[in-house]
Amino acid sequence: MLRRRFGAAVAAMCASTVLGLTLPATAAAESYKSEYKLSTVLGDAFPWGWGASRWAELVKEKTDGRINIKVYPGASLVSGDQTKEFTALRQGIIDMAVGSTINWSPQVKELNLFSLPFLMPDYKAIDALTQGRVGEKIFASLTQRDVVPLAWGENGFREVTNSKHPVRTPEDLKGMKMRVVGSPLFLATFNALGANPTQMSWADAQPAMATGAVDGQENPLAVFSAAKLHTVDQKFVTLWGYVADPLIFVVNEKVWASWSAEDQKAVREAALQAAREEVARARAGISEGDDAVLKSIEGNGVTVTRLSDTERDAFRQATAGVYQEWAGKIGNDLVKQAEEDIAKR
């Protein structure tokens, strides 16, 4: 009897000790998910997916494991439909993302800025926008759309490729079946160039190239190389650098609000560091003086066409009407600021 009572008392003590010690932790654990879902289009073999994994890794480190992130490449949380990613992020189906400005531009019109043909001539121009007042304005408009933007990464300058012949003039694109991404601005640009553009997701694009359902596409060289697009018949690349898509590291606003100030700071710092490292990777090996990726593409039998300034200008002129029309849709003030900041770079 005595023994049993003693046992019960010990059990009660243990229970209260356990409860006393674990209650605050349990409360905290309830507002934190055991795992956060992070969406990207491209996986670890690409700078983009690498940057997302790097962010996850740094967050784990900096929060002592309080925030665990799982990366879902292939926009798999939205069944591969990358233009639905932003909506799913707002709705909380996705907790975090490293997303391309192109894929979110159907919902955030300002993001079409980066897809204005021939707005940004070089990396300094991209940086002048993302690291300046234009970038701040775009972040402010994202903040009004239920997400917390933290850092700018980069997919890269998008070069046009095809299976038919070298492209040196707009005429060379005439009638060519081109896969483009999901913003109507891309349809407008390729229509203006006389091509025959069709919209599809990245997942559908590769089989379409392999079967010849499309002749060509446009994507950064880092993507061309990692996706081995020469194996799906892309034999001709033209370096025209007509647009570049930055990436944005974001967290759903409710998820963000559920974290302590200390953890928010850690996630932000991790995003800034991962983005810095990701941009360096996205830019590596594809320009003069640092051309290992470009060389390996050529080594695979791909013909790389480099345009003179005059040749590039013909593409610019052919798309000038699209630029004008879309500047109005994006917001003439924002476009004007972007042009000024690029001129001053």
User: Which C-beta is closer to ligand X2X: that of 229 or that of 302?
Assistant: 229
Cβ 102 to ligand X2X, closest distance in Å? 4
Whole-number minimum distance, CB 41 to ligand X2X, in Å?
A: 4
**Residue 105 φ then ψ, to 5°:** -65, -25
Work out how close the CB of 205 gets to ligand X2X at its nearest, in angstroms, rounded to a whole number: 6
Of 41 and 150, CB closest to ligand X2X: 41
Helix (H) or strand (E) holding 136: helix 133-143
Shortest distance (Å) from residue 100 CB to ligand X2X: 4
Positions that interact with ligand X2X (CB under 6 A): 41-42, 82, 100, 102-103, 155, 181, 202, 219, 223, 245
DSSP 300-342: TTPEEEE--HHHHHHHHHHTHHHHHHHHHHH-HHHHHHHHHHH
Q: How far is the CB of 31 from ligand X2X (least distance, A)?
A: 32
Closer residue to ligand X2X, CB minimum distance, 63 or 83:
83
**Of the candidates 92, 101, 94, the residue with the CA atom closest to the CA atom of residue 48:** 101
Q: Which is nearer to ligand X2X, 222 or 271 (CB)?
A: 222
In the complex, the smallest distance separating the C-beta of residue 70 from ligand X2X, rounded to whole angstroms, is 20
Nearer to ligand X2X, 85 or 341 (CB): 85
CA 283 to chain centre: 14
Instruction: Give the length of the chain.
Output: 345
Q: Identify the residue whose tokens are 């784990």.
A: 60
SS (H, E, C) 32-92: CCCCEEEECCCCCCCHHHHHHHHHHHHHHHHCCCCCCEEEECCCHHHCCCHHHHHHHHHHC
Could you tell me if 259 and 329 are in contact, meaning their C-beta atoms sit under 8 angstroms apart?
no
- Beta-ladder partners of 249: 98, 151
The three-state secondary structure class of 248 is: strand
Task: Specify the residue, 86 or 202, whose C-beta has the smaller distance to ligand X2X.
Answer: 202
Residue closer to ligand X2X by CB (options 37, 179) is: 179
Query: Least distance to ligand X2X from the beta carbon of 289, Å?
Result: 25
Residue nearest ligand X2X (C-beta atom): 202
